[in-house]
Amino acid sequence: MAYIALYRKWRPGTFGDLVGQEHISRTLSNAITTGRIGHAYLFSGPRGTGKTSTAKILAKALNCEHGPTPEPCGKCRACQKINDGSSMDVFEIDAASNRGIDEIRDLRETVKFAPVDGRYKVYIIDEVHMLTTEAFNALLKTLEEPPAHVVFILATTEAHKVPPTIQSRCQRYDFKRITVEEIRGRLETVVTEMGLQAEAEALDMIAIQADGGLRDALSLLDQCSALAEGELTAARVRQVLGLIGHDWIYKLTEAIYARKAQVALGVLAELLRDGKDLKQVLTELSLHLRSLMIYQATGTLEQMDLYAEPDAVLQEQGKFFDTEELMAMIKRLHEALAEIKWSPQPRITVEVALMALCNPTVSGAVTQAAGAAVDDGRIAQLEAKLSQMAAQLAARPAAVAAPAGTGKPAAQRPAASGQGTATRAAVPAEPMPQAEVVPITASDAEVWDKLLALLKERNKMPIFACMNQGQFAGMSDTQFFVKFKGVLMADLAMRNYRTLLEQLLEELTGRPLRLHCSGEDTPLMPPPKPVKKKAAPPPPPEEPSIHVDLDALPPEERAPLEKAFEIFGDHVVEIEDDKQ
């Protein structure tokens, strides 16, 4: 006789055999007992939790010769046919390969015929979410009003992909993940019936690796028992499943705690020599750190089973790190797990992650330095754009200057508000104060913060964006100092925004303050140098302002000029050409 896989041999045959789904088996049993049998059911839940098995049990319960009964005998002709898949009244349809509208049309035609042997025709549609939209629409009417002798059972692992119109016509049952204790209890029953000796730790490993699916657990047990040779040990299970093992994970954790990167890399190299998978190393290490984090918070791992470990180890290694460190380490390991999928050298990715865990201060400093470099790069880009705009403005004298020899200015530029026209006068440059630097007090810093807040409150966002790049450098009884990283922004504040800022400062402090802005290459208060007294040179003659009529310019020239006027002001002078 051909060998039958364990998950097929030990498939539940009655509602009482279902593991971990008592809420469903009890509900269906009561419905059959009271005669309240629905015409359509939707079974949803993770893989290997008993959806298809429950559908077959329900089919047997409805068609058993002693039924309908919540406890089908499994021995009558109808039950045996359903068990071996030869029943003419139970149809198992794989929606993944029969997902089109033609298959559903054929199904609609067959539901009209009466059952051959039993009381009900049962249609089990597995992975129903794979049906196309047209197929769902074709099934809709039949599913809503099927013949009295038809029962539909739809099974899916992704219920959110089933249209709401289909779900509303079904009784929905959600299958839950099976706990490690329930899986281990079922495995103990199976190995006892097989006459196989098994260590408790070996069964725990299989139950944890099954990830809530009993079918997966039976398949893993089937695989491990082939190497058992009469006794199933934890070492053989670890060998078959490619697990790392607690001892290696504990060594890695101790090396990380001791900041011994060489030891951690040595453990990794030895695991790779034994054929272990890099992903499995990171996964088990993150599970161990997760156990330490949960144990610190709750003092136990009950009801949170994911990585079985003794309490003695958790108590000892739980003192190595605090909760914030554990959370940061788990995050770093998950980042490495995502990176190795695309990395050309996955081993290097894992080694870098272990080095980062062993040297958290170095990795944090590198991250901060990288962030600072990004900020400096953004500021440099903004300054470069402003300089480029100024160069473009200077390179177009013909577009903004009056016609040569006329001496008559062009029409004035319209004001931004649309009411009248105005010309902005140039702000004369002022010499920097030569006094000593005033220390910054808490009250002085509060004035700076209030100034920025007031700009935002009054919706002066261009001025706020400019001043927010500056740094408060102190204030005296009559002066207010701000320092910028670039000279260009300091000149912009002094030229365009000074009047309004001084008004706001007087409003905040109650006394008139004179604003002084400077850049890095123009110190706020340069030290005085002894120089010989000499007559001051006469002031240069003020260049006449030229008025620009933006409306007379083509759009491609008007846009950059409007942006330049917004930043630098609209005081425009003619530049003479020195070329002969």
Q: Which two tokens stand for residue 533?
A: 């007294």
Q: Which of 241, 260, 275 is the last residue of a domain?
A: 241
CB atoms within 10 A of CB 510: 7
What range does the domain containing 494 cover? 442-518
198-230 pLDDT per residue, tens: 888 888 888 888 888 899 999 999 888 887 777
- Contacts (Cβ under 8 Å, ≥6 apart) of 141: none
- Residue 562 in any domain: the answer is no
- Residue 572 in any domain: the answer is no
Residues 10 and 156 in one domain: yes
Residues 50 and 154 in one domain: yes
Residues 149 and 15 in one domain: yes
Average pLDDT over residues 478-501: 85
pLDDT at 533 over 80: no
At 525 the pLDDT is 47
Average pLDDT over residues 301-329: 80
Q: What is the mean pLDDT of the chain?
A: 79
At 296 the pLDDT is 82
Average pLDDT over residues 18-28: 90
pLDDT band, residue 393 (cuts 50/70/90) = low
Average pLDDT over residues 91-111: 87
pLDDT band, residue 445 (cuts 50/70/90) = confident
| Overall domain count for the chain | 4
Residues 321 and 266 in one domain: yes
At 422 the pLDDT is 37
As a whole number of Å, the CA-based R_g of the chain is 40
- Residue 435 in any domain: the answer is no
Residues 260 and 334 in one domain: yes
- Residue 567 in any domain: the answer is no
Q: Which of 83-97, 104-118, 442-456, 549-563 has the lowest mean pLDDT?
A: 549-563
145-197 pLDDT per residue, tens: 888 899 999 999 999 999 999 999 999 999 998 888 889 899 999 988 888 88
Q: Which of 357-361, 449-453, 471-475 has the lowest mean pLDDT?
A: 357-361
- Residue 469 in any domain: the answer is yes
Residues 11 and 152 in one domain: yes
Residues 158 and 253 in one domain: no
Residues 158 and 197 in one domain: no
Q: Which two tokens stand for residue 103?
A: 């298959």
Q: Which of 3-7, 30-34, 428-432 has the lowest mean pLDDT?
A: 428-432
3 vs 370 pLDDT, higher one = 3
Q: CATH number for the domain including 236?
A: 1.10.8.60
pLDDT at 374 over 70: no
Q: CATH number for the domain including 478?
A: 3.30.300.180
Residues 184 and 306 in one domain: no
Name the pairing type of β-strands 471-475 and 479-483: antiparallel
- Residue 192 in any domain: the answer is yes
Q: CATH number for the domain including 254?
A: 1.20.272.10
34-45 pLDDT per residue, tens: 989 999 999 999
At 470 the pLDDT is 86
- Residue 400 in any domain: the answer is no
- Contacts (Cβ under 8 Å, ≥6 apart) of 161: 129
Q: Which two tokens stand for residue 31?
A: 């419905």
Kindly report the three-state secondary structure assignment for every residue of 412-448.
CCECCCCCCECCCCCCCCCCCCCCCCCCCCHHHHHHH
- Residue 404 in any domain: the answer is no
Q: Which of 26-40, 293-307, 313-327, 407-421 has the lowest mean pLDDT?
A: 407-421
Residues 48 and 81 in one domain: yes
Q: Which of 358, 383, 411 is the last residue of a domain?
A: 358
Q: For 155-210, where are the alpha helices, taking DSSP H only? A: 164-167, 180-194, 200-209
In sequence order, what are the beta bridge partners of 152? 40, 123
Angstrom distance (rounded) from CA 557 to CA 572:
15
Residues 158 and 27 in one domain: yes
Residues 150 and 195 in one domain: no
